[in-house]
């Protein structure tokens, strides 16, 4: 417990400071070298850090001076008693896919277990006020996918969420993760306490929020980015015109994940949002589990091979602090923040791929050359490129954009890219 306490304490303290959140805390970590050092820094030095000011610095100093120690002790005691793991975003146990979204949470509270195989996951979301048909569809699809080895991720809410979790639990060995918009001390809605217990046995209940944070509306949209972040893709079963499920779709698109939607009658209020997503090409219309598995086939095969050791597993223990990439706009180019280890990996990949180099490839910049060499005439998903390069999706996406622009690469459906054939 002492090691864990030592590692977590600075984060648990700094994140409780006023005006503070995962992104700001990671900025301080990056600026001062570690959160411990940030806490030890003078208020003046903190205020001078880019994006900070005297108010935030004062709040950090309060945290450094032990303002939250009692809350932290209570939380750590509660976590030990309840068997809740608190994962730091740099921990090897921290879900890989969530590490690679823009603005990953700094901490993740996990009751239950996230297994390596849970990387093969689909988010299933929809409104609380879902139709009976929608609930049934969510449950059936979740059950069939879970039987096919896909972990079902949702938000434990009434309606589609609950049906999706229950569907996964209905399958013999299906796994499911519930991402909460409140601290794990509370199960919300209360009526889903038993469902949450069942989920813990076949997956985990997860939150990025301190254990005693009550359910509040403003915490639910950011929660949705974790649902999509943990998933290879997201299925929107139903959505009214202003459904929160549309926020999940938006996050999923930003994260480069697949977005699927079930179509519905033009008369149905609960399909207005899903139909609009499909109309706007923001989601692919699917009508069956087969449709979904077909679209995810490349990714699933890739991760299955990795899990079975058929391809070398990416080493994430030396995962660098990615504060630059995190703050970058989705399509800006990052400077190189890779660790020496991952750099070496890339150079091997580059060497392997250089044989097929394009005659005009010397027209490309460094990053472009690297990504170019990983492409072939077979479409490859951006997620797989991210995984191969250990780059954040924003960086890979930006480079792919340049390659597309220069007519070296072309985009296929579903964020898959290939070399442009002459």
Shortest distance in whole angstroms from residue 275 CB to a second copy: 5
Distance CA 370, CA 357 (A): 11
Q: Which residues bind a second copy (CB under 8 A)?
A: 133, 137, 262-268, 271-272, 275-276, 278-279, 281, 284-288, 291, 407, 413
Shortest distance in whole angstroms from residue 325 CB to a second copy: 29
The smaller minimum CB distance to a second copy, of residues 59 and 286, is found at 286
CB atoms near residue 316 (< 10 Å): 16
The smaller minimum CB distance to a second copy, of residues 179 and 237, is found at 237
Shortest distance in whole angstroms from residue 100 CB to a second copy: 28
Strand partners, 410: 418
The smaller minimum CB distance to a second copy, of residues 284 and 371, is found at 284
Shortest distance in whole angstroms from residue 356 CB to a second copy: 22
Beta 203-207 vs 176-179: how paired, if at all?
A: parallel
- Going 116 to 121 to 126 to 128, the CA torsion angle's sign is negative
The smaller minimum CB distance to a second copy, of residues 263 and 401, is found at 263
The smaller minimum CB distance to a second copy, of residues 245 and 396, is found at 245
Shortest distance in whole angstroms from residue 276 CB to a second copy: 7
Helices (H), 206-244: 220-229
Contacts of the segment 86-89: beta carbons below 8 A, 24+ positions apart: 86/4, 86/8, 86/12, 86/110, 88/7, 88/8, 88/11, 89/22, 89/26
* Contact (CB, 8 A) for 278 and 246: no
Beta 107-112 vs 203-207: how paired, if at all?
A: antiparallel
Cα angle: 206, vertex 209, 214; to 5 degrees? 105
Closest by CA to 209, choosing from 110, 82, 83, is 110
Structure-token pair, residue 3: 């090691």
The smaller minimum CB distance to a second copy, of residues 212 and 291, is found at 291
Shortest distance in whole angstroms from residue 289 CB to a second copy: 11
Shortest distance in whole angstroms from residue 379 CB to a second copy: 16
Sheet containing strand 380-381, strands side by side: 380-381, 416-419, 409-412
The smaller minimum CB distance to a second copy, of residues 288 and 351, is found at 288
The smaller minimum CB distance to a second copy, of residues 262 and 385, is found at 262
Shortest distance in whole angstroms from residue 171 CB to a second copy: 20
Strand partners, 152: 122, 176
């Amino acid at each position: 417990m002492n090691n864990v306490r030592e590692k977590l304490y600075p984060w648990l303290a700094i994140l409780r400071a006023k005006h503070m959140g995962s992104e700001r805390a990671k900025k301080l970590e990056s600026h001062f070298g570690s959160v411990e050092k940030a806490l030890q820094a003078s208020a003046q030095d903190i205020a001078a850090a880019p994006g900070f000011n005297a108010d935030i610095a004062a709040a950090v100093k309060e945290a450094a001076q032990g303002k939250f120690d009692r809350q932290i002790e209570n939380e750590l005691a509660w976590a030990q008693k309840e068997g809740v793991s608190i994962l730091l975003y740099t921990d090897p146990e921290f879900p890989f896919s969530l590490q690679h979204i823009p603005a990953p949470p700094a901490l993740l509270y996990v009751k239950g277990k996230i297994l390596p195989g849970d990387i093969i996951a689909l988010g299933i979301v929809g409104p609380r006020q879902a139709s009976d048909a929608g609930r049934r569809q969510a449950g059936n699809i979740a059950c069939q996918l879970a039987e096919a080895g896909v972990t079902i991720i949702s938000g434990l809410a009434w309606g589609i969420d609950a049906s999706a979790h229950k569907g996964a639990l209905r399958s013999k060995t299906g796994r499911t993760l519930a991402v909460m918009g409140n601290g794990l001390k509370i199960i919300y809605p209360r009526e889903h306490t038993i469902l949450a217990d069942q989920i813990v046995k076949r997956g985990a209940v997860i939150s990025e929020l301190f254990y005693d944070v009550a359910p509040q509306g403003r915490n639910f949209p950011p929660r949705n980015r974790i649902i999509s972040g943990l998933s290879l893709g997201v299925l929107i079963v139903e959505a009214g015109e202003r459904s929160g499920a549309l926020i999940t779709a938006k996050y999923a698109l930003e994260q480069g994940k697949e977005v699927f939607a079930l179509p519905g009658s033009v008369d149905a209020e609960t399909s207005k949002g899903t139909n609009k997503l499909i109309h706007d090409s923001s989601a692919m219309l699917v009508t069956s589990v087969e449709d979904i598995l077909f679209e995810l086939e490349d990714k699933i095969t890739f991760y299955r091979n990795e899990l079975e050791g058929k391809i070398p597993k990416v080493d994430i223990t030396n995962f660098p602090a990615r504060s630059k990439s995190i703050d970058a706009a989705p399509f800006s180019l990052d400077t190189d923040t890779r660790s020496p280890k991952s750099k070496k990996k890339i150079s091997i990949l580059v060497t392997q791929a250089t044989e097929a180099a394009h005659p005009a490839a010397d027209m490309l910049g460094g990053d472009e050359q690297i990504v170019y060499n990983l492409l072939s005439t077979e479409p490859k998903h951006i997620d797989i490129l991210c995984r191969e390069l250990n780059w954040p999706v924003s960086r890979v996406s930006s480079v792919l954009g340049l390659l597309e622009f220069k007519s070296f690469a072309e985009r296929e459906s579903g964020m898959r890219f290939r070399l442009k054939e002459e």
